[in-house]
Every structure is written in structure tokens, then in C-alpha cells.
Amino acid sequence: MNKEIYISKGVGETRIAVTENGNLAELHVDKETQERTVGNIYKGIIENVIPGMQAAFVNIGQKVNAFLPFSEISDPEHLDTDNTKKDSQIEVLLSPGQEIIVQVIKEPFDNKGARVTTNLSLAGRFLVLIPKSTYVGVSKKLLDKYERRRLKKIALEIRKPGLGMIIRTVAEGTTEEQIVNDYTSLVKKYNELIALSDKKSAPMLAYNDLETTSSVLRDLIDDNVSKIVTDSREDYKKVLKIIKDDSLNIENSLEHYRKREPLFRSIGIHNSIMKLLKKKVWLKSGAYLIIERTEAMVVVDVNSGKFVGKKGHEENSLKINLEAAKEIASQLRLRHLSGLILIDFIDMNESENRKKVYQQMKKELRFDRAKVAVSEISEFGVLEMTRERTGLSMIDSITEACDCCNGWGRIISKDTLLTRIDYWLREYKQQKKDLRLKLYLHPEIAAYLKNEKTRDFIKLMWQNFVYLKIIEDYSLNKNEFKFTKINDDVDLTNEIGT
């Protein structure tokens, strides 16, 4: 498989695209205004303990208290093992005001606080450290039994008491020295966070995991990557450090992109990103998917559309469903959809055919780095599955709620709009020589750019060698912009594609 990584740093957000054999496989958006908390470890204070919900709420210093399910507590010091109820409810030794160390496993979302656990883990490049554990394991995705045996032997030899570990898939083929260095580094970080939490009072941040860009790159970059391209000098240095720290033999595949044309536009994936906001996804056969996200679940409907089959209904339905299974697995990865997912395939009468589609779905999901669980297709043609939520969905990353319709619709976010403006200017400067322009924006967006993004606004002008005069325009929506020359009011916006 030919795997390539493209990193584009815009005004307010960094986008990371992964292509596999030329096709967009993963997309990650790191927004400066969105703080990443997954992986962070806090010393918090118990606010409420609710046995009926089998959960506690913990103050970790955020706007909304974190949610701690009793099922995420395994420490003997917090469990009442002598008082187990007949209905299997978990009894805990927690009370309001008590201090507790927890780790965020799911980001806060809407009005819900972060989901946390007392089962700490620190992710490194090649392994995950598991404090207060004796467990040593190897990723199930690593299939070579001899390599699994070699890695586990190294792990057992270097393990310290009470500090277990899981060897990650990317550790395949690494040296013992690389494993030892990673383990030593993680043990040091764990000791430091414990020492820090002992000194300071709660609520406090004891350990700050990597920000999104570094975290994603840590998981993506390995010896199998054939090309890494970034348009930012800062990210170029960041990637180069990862390559050298991990002793990877791919330094020659790293490229600093310096052309004025936006990177994602130059490689032809800018339009693919915009398609991820649409509900309808066309298949090559003429069939299509409708992908709907509700508060409770994600629903995918498979439709025959323009498909004209030459065989009977059963054979045609099987063909469409097999094609749909592959595309659905791809869309789940690209859109970062998670939670309960229901897929309504076209009805098939034969159980053998339903089994084929189920097996195809499982096969395609093997490439997904998120944890998934899949059930067989029911007699009604519905497949149920769950997918781990590790961050915001793509629609939440690059859009925001529309206040004109009380949250029923979405518009592109402020930062994504600024990225579009940046792209417009780069392409405009390739064709025109004007150095002075007027930029018309909705007053709220104009204020955001002038007040909260002053530094980025100056950088935007400097990078494109242009002076911009911002004009507030109430006739524009919050997801729109308009350009004119400084001395006239002729709209130039549509002369350049965005």
C-alpha cells in the first residue's frame, strides 16, 4: 500500500490528510480554538456520587464536571469489594470533596463534560504504559506470531514492578533499544506527573498529552510512509524530530512545500474535504448512500439510485451492498463518525448473501485505527455496529451551529472560513498583481478576525504580500466573504474558485 501524508497549516487550523494508493483515507483538523483533552491526566475533586447512575462527577477545572462511570474504576483503593450487591452494581469508596487522579478518554461534547477513567495509560511511539498493572500485551493487529513473541519477550525483560505495557502495532520490526528508550521515557513522565500531583492541590492538570497535530503524526508516521509533505516550516521541524527520535529510515521522503498554490488544492483533495459535509455519497455503480447523524446514533441508508443491474434482484442487491460496505467503512474513517451506527442495506432474502456483506464490512474495518464492534445483518437488512469516539466528528471540526435556525443546521466555522479566505488569496495572487484589496465580512466575523485573530490577520497579509481593509457587511452571512479592489466596489470573489 502506498501511504502518503500531507500537512497544511492554515489561518487558525492545521489539516492532516492521509492518502492510501492515491485515495483520501483519513483527514484530521486541529483547530487552535479547540483544546484537545483526550489523554490528559488531572487531579480532580469528587463533586457528586450517584449510585443509581453508577457514576460520579469530578471537578477537573473545566466548565462542566467530568463524568466518571463506576465501570472505569479498577483501583482497589476506590472499590468496596466487600459489599457487592446482588444486581451486580459496583460499590465504590468515593465521597464528595475527595481528591482523585483521572484521565480523559472522551472529549467534552455539547453540554456534556469529558468522560474520564482512573485506569491511567500513557501512549508513546511504540508502546502504551499502564501504571498500577502487571499486564504485558502486544497489539492484536500485529499478526506475525514470531514478531509478537519477540516483542513480548523484550517487554517482559524490561518491565518494572507495577508498570505494565501494551506494545503497539507500529513497533513491528523495531529494535530492543527503541522499545527500551520509549518505555524509559514514559516511566519518567509518569513519575513526574505523580510528583507534580502530590505537590499541587486539585483541580489541576498533572499531565498534558500531545496536541492534536503531534498526536496524530505520532500514530501515523512509520517506515511504511512513502511521502510526507508539509507547507509549514514549524511542522517540517516537528516531523523531522519524530523521524530522528524514532530512528525511522524515511527522512528522504519528507518535503517542505513552498509553492503559493494551497497544498491541498495542488494534490486535488480540497474538493474531497467539502464532500464530507454532504449527506449523499455516490457509488461508482450509480447507487448512493445517505449518511445522517442524530444525537443518539448515526444512520446510513443504502439506495440503488441509478444502478441498472442485468441480473435478478438478489444478485443486484448483493452487488450494491458489497460496494456500499467498502465505501461506508471509508466514510466512517473520513468523517470520524462514532457511537452506535445503523446501516440499512438493501434487502436480501438469502442468509448466505447477508453473511457475505457482513464479512465484507468486517474486512474493510480492519484498516480503521479506532476500535469497532460489528453485529451480523438482521433479517430486516440492518447491520448494527459501534465505533470508538476519539475526537470530534468532521462536521463538528469544520462547521458550527447556525444561530439563524436554532441549531438545526450547520455553517462552516470561523476558522474554516479564514482558511477559505487564505486559499482565495493565494490563488488570486497567482493571477493578479493587485496589492490592496477590501475584504467584506459579516460584522461578527470581522470582529473575530480583528480582535481574536490579529496576529493571524497580519500573517495572512504578509504571506500573500497584500494589504486588506476589512469592511463590515450585514448583507453577508457568517459563512460568506467578498473581495473588491481598494478603489472600487466590483465584486472579485467569483473570479477565483474556493
Pairing of strands 298-303, 288-293: antiparallel
For residue 216, the SS3 value is helix
Q: What nine digits make up the cell of 318?
A: 448483493
Q: What nine digits make up the cell of 176?
A: 530492543
* Side-chain-facing half-sphere of 406: CA atoms under 13 Å: 0
3-state secondary structure 357-400: HHHHHHHHHHHCCCCEEECCCCCCCEEEEEECCCCCCHHHHHEE
Burial (CB < 10 A; 0-12, 13-18, 19+), residue 456, is middle
Provide, for the chain, the percentages of residues in helix, strand and coil under a 3-state DSSP scheme, each rounded to the nearest 5.
Answer: 35, 30, 35
Q: Give CA 87 to chain center in angstroms.
A: 37
Write down the pLDDT at residue 287: 93
Domains annotated for the chain, with CATH where assigned, are 3-35+212-271 (3.30.420.40), 41-117 (2.40.50.140), 122-207 (3.30.230), 278-387 (3.40.630), 413-495 (3.40.1260.20)
Closest CA to 32 of 217, 205, 204, 212: 212
The position carrying cell 504485558 is 136
Helices in 160-291 by DSSP H: which ranges?
176-199, 212-220, 233-245, 263-266, 270-275
One pLDDT digit (tens) per residue for the chain, 498 residues: 788 999 998 877 888 999 988 888 888 888 776 677 888 999 999 999 999 899 999 999 988 999 999 999 988 888 877 665 556 788 888 999 999 999 998 888 777 889 999 999 998 888 999 999 989 999 988 888 999 999 999 999 999 999 999 999 888 888 899 899 999 999 999 999 999 999 999 999 999 886 667 778 877 887 788 999 999 998 999 888 888 877 778 888 999 999 888 898 888 887 788 788 889 999 999 999 999 988 789 999 999 888 877 788 889 999 999 999 999 999 999 999 998 999 999 999 899 999 999 999 999 998 888 889 999 998 888 999 999 876 778 887 777 776 665 555 777 888 889 988 998 998 888 888 888 999 999 999 999 998 888 888 898 898 888 999 999 999 998 989 999 999 988 999 988 765
Q: Give me the residues paired with residue 104 across strands.
A: 116
Write down the pLDDT at residue 221: 83
Contacts of 101 (CB under 8 A, 6+ apart): 41, 42, 43, 44, 118, 120, 197, 206
Q: What nine digits make up the cell of 340?
A: 452506535
Q: What nine digits make up the cell of 174?
A: 523495531
pTM, two decimals, is 0.72
3-state secondary structure 80-147: CCCCCCCCCCCCECCCCCCEEEEEEEECCECCECCEEECCCCEECCCEEEEECCCCEEECCCCCCHHH
Closest CA to 462 of 11, 77, 12: 11
d(CA 475, CA 160) in angstroms, rounded, equals 65
Q: What nine digits make up the cell of 216?
A: 496524530
Kindly report whether the peptide bond that precedes residue 262 is cis, defined as omega within 30 degrees of 0: no
Angle at 139 between CA 136 and CA 140, to 5 degrees: 120
Assign residue 121 a region (left: φ > 0; alpha: ψ between -120 and 50; beta: otherwise): beta
The phi and psi torsions of 37 (rounded to 5 degrees) equal: -120, -15
d(CA 184, CA 175) in angstroms, rounded, equals 14
